[in-house]
Structure 1
């Protein structure tokens, strides 16, 4: 097969050996890969996992580029059965598409490839739910732009779980992991009023970014407010408000939203963040929402992790989201 499975992608760097006789698979035995010698039958798949190994555009030094492979290695620690929701994900057909090709030094080429990868996904198999594993948060702007390129008439909103606004000025920060939401607003891909950011807290955002958020109509709920109101209520309200306004919700999870005690492998994680159970509930609810048509998990550096705690939390985030998605399909 030429141009696996389209030009800007590389196959997964390694693949787990699958045993077809297993009736209760682990996640690494369940997620499929593409036979490079054949043209894929896209109609058989429900979900596509795409690695986006870019971290050169991170403000702070990061090995988030290593995260897609760290995810793949950690799949062996999980089963497909979610006891909390009594759901078995093995009924979904999930394929690991591999990784977006990255240039050694040129971030603009990396970003172009990411955008083109999303374009190719939407053109070749629009019914496949895209789940992207980053990489730093700069990838979100490129992925949303790629989606919008194929669906120019759709109004796209953002549900963002994050410690930060990610609204830094592009004139001095460029297309970095601190600017993806501002990038999308100023390029008129999305409206500020269609952004809902949940999880901001403490002393990790400057006043000028709050002012910009207020001026552009960005909706945000601090972690303190979310705890008082209940994370389930806050997420459901955001999803409801967005669903009433937009055609598509793009869901982005910055792993630094976790409290540093739960997410030591997120370079910018801080005290006062989300607990893992709050994050898992939030992504489960997002997965259930029919307007959520793509999601990413970003800003996780496996080399800074401790006992793989954050990588495991990240895989749990992906599986919790897919649990919600499976519930959505059943309903």
Structure 2
């Protein structure tokens, strides 16, 4: 095609030779040993108690992530040192939610067993996937602390609707997969929960931080105080980000939007701070519904959550290298 230098593939975006996008550094996984962060999608949304197109979110988040520059001014370099592998999506059963949860758990467990140095970057999916992802992490990585960014406790009973996106943390607590004192809930919002579920969480010693408490103290200072204590009694850390923790003006593409939530920059700073801990064993993004979104605002915010997690992980590794 040298004869036609101005003819290009249909839909090809503008390419600036001096800009490296995340898509330039992301590669389809070829089965080799995974060390460090790598992407995996979990496109489940049938278990949502309200309308949800969260099954489309892994695709829109990947697209938003791929179109973003890989350069971090604060790092003075790319947010990843080499390549970011993408393992693809976990197959979801067409109709059976319980079977879907089992497939998610077994896939995560087998991958983590075969690749113990993998740090999964999980693109959900609704919040019900947290039961399976955290179960796999906790059973392989030891006592696990979960930093749950969420407007809701997600400890609904399973009698009224089975295993839904409102039940994952009740299931994890009831089955003793995690301990209540090691579940740190950040961003619990007013008029979004019930007395019964708050009492359940308190009975299990869940560490609850409401939006009112966070507004008074600050999000990162809250995490700093908690992290020092949690690190002494756990082996690994998992970050679970339900995007409805954000104020509705920052995340319109969530099934359960509401006012009075976190601002995007607060969430990004918090995730980056936690991700600097070398024992972070994974991070998940859930509850993005592209069918409700405006100009992919929520998918873009989710992509930046992952970028800031990668930034925190790289900062931790740079510090380790300086100490050698």
* TM-score of the superposed pair, with normalisation by structure 2: 0.90
Q: Which residue of 2 aligns with 1:34?
A: 29
Q: Which residue of 1 aligns with 2:154?
A: 166
Distance 1:258 1:29, change over 3 A: same
CA distance in 1, matches of 2:82, 2:258: 35
- CA shift, 1:105, in A, is 0.5
Which of 277, 285, 292 does residue 297 from structure 1 map onto? 285
Q: 1:124 aligns with which of 103, 114, 128?
A: 114
CA drift of 1:83 comes to 2.6
**Correspondence for 2:8:** none
8 Å contact 1:263–1:310 — kept in the other structure?
yes
**How do 1:48-197 and structure 2 match up within 5 A?**
48-151=38-141, 154-197=142-185
The answer (yes or no) to whether the contact 2:139–2:177 under 8 Å persists in 1 is no
Q: Write the distance in 2 (CA, Å) between the matches of 1:68 and 1:250.
A: 19
**CA distance in structure 2 between the aligned counterparts of 1:219 and 1:149, rounded to whole angstroms:** 21
State the superposition RMSD in angstroms. 1.8
- Equivalent residue pairs, number: 306
Contact 1:160 1:198 in 2 (8 A): yes
**Whole-angstrom CA distance in 1 between matches of 2:82 and 2:217:** 34
**Deviation by residue 1:184-213 (Cα, 9 ceiling, x = unmatched):** 000111111111001012111111111111
Distance 2:98 2:289 in 1: 22
**Distance in 1 of aligned mates of 2:18 and 2:28:** 19
- Per-residue CA distance 1:23-62 (angstroms, 9 max, x = gap): 6410111111124xxxx3215x421111000000111110
Poorly superposed stretches of 4+, deviation over 3 Å: 21-24, 84-87, 148-151
Aligned with 1:172: secondary structure?
A: coil
Q: Is the 8 A contact 2:151 2:192 kept in 1?
A: yes
Where in structure 2 are there 5+ consecutive unaligned residues? 1-10, 320-324
Q: Which moved more, 1:280-289 or 1:79-88?
A: 79-88
C-alpha distance in 1, partners of 2:52/2:112? Answer: 29
- Helix, strand or coil: the match of 2:291? helix
